Homo-oligomer: A and B are copies of this chain.
Amino acid sequence: MINELIAKIKKTGAPIVVGLDPTLKLIPKHLLEKAYKECGENPEGVARAIVEYNKGIVDAVADLVPAVKPQIAMYEQFGIPGLIAYQKTIRYCKEKGLVVIGDIKRGDIGSTSEAYAVGHLGKVTIGGVEYRGFEEDFATVNPYLGSDGVKPFIEVCRQEKRGIFVLVKTSNPSSGEFQDQKIDGRSLYELVGEKVAAWGEDLKGEEYSYVGAVVGATYPEEGRILRKLMPRTYILVPGYGAQGGKGADLVHFFNDDGLGAIINSSRGIIAAYQQEKYAAYGEENYADAARQAVLDMKTDIKDALDVAGKHVRM
């Protein structure tokens, strides 16, 4: 799947993943009203609106980007109907040819991590028949529990040719509380990064490993350090746009081959219509605003990579 992701990045020229993180405040009113009329003003109605909202965005950007990243928490907050919307969203995105990164940040130990891996990236077998739960292509994983927590995911990735992105240095202001702590002069995130590279040694695609990392756009200097520590690790970079990361900050996350990083933007794209810059589109045309926001983001990243001389070989 990492090979497929890279092929799509090369084809679109956009190392961009669109974060499908719907909240009530972001969904356009006309979609909510229609869904409430059909399903009631309740979690089922919200779930319907979420799926329609996502479909609009996916239809508008599917030819421009390689991947989407639904954040499961935004669905899980609405209970079972929300999780059904998560599942429907994934299916729709895959029908449209997009790679789906489930931002689930799961992590446990042994058979419990295996259960998460199976539910999201693999399959259960019941009476000789295989069933898939959520069917993401990639999932994000929390490393706090160590190898026991991550390796069951890697085993499922090996069987299924899917992948993971392990949290290394997260984009939030307090990420340093633990991640920046110094151990023999080096930060915890460096140790975690080294482990991610080692876990990935064992499961390589053509150019990069199936085991990726999450490093926030808000920490370009840490991105530079980690880029060197994990040369064959794909880096999923959140924090662009709404969280403050800029195009010029992003170049450090890429290798000289112009690859190695994929930048996420969520609100900056899916709720572009709420920004002054795209207000002229109007709420009803939220999907067109999202498309323009993707095009602008693509240019921002391309310009920064051009300045840095990091070009993708086709």
Which A residues have a C-beta under 8 Å from some C-beta of B? 21, 23-24, 36, 41-43, 45-46, 71, 73-74, 76-80, 82-84, 87, 105-113, 115-116, 118-120, 124, 126-127, 129, 131-134, 142-149, 167, 170-179, 181-184, 188, 191-192, 195
- The distance in angstroms between the C-alpha atoms of A82 and B111, with both chains bound, is 16
B41 and A127 contact, CB distance less than 8 A:
yes
- The distance in angstroms between the C-alpha atoms of A279 and B18, with both chains bound, is 54
Copies of this protein in the assembly total: 2
Knowing A46-B126, A127-B36, A148-B173, the reply to whether A133 touches B178 (Cβ < 8 A) is no
- The distance in angstroms between the C-alpha atoms of A167 and B127, with both chains bound, is 36
B73 and A115 contact, CB distance less than 8 A:
yes
Pick 14 A–B contacts, CB within 8 A, sort by A: A24-B126, A76-B120, A77-B115, A77-B119, A78-B133, A79-B87, A143-B144, A143-B178, A144-B178, A147-B177, A181-B183, A181-B191, A182-B183, A188-B188
Question: A266's closest neighbor in chain B, by CB?
Answer: B112
- The distance in angstroms between the C-alpha atoms of A148 and B170, with both chains bound, is 11
Name the contact of A145 in the complex, choosing from B87, B120, B172, B192 (C-beta under 8 A): B172
- The distance in angstroms between the C-alpha atoms of A79 and B107, with both chains bound, is 17
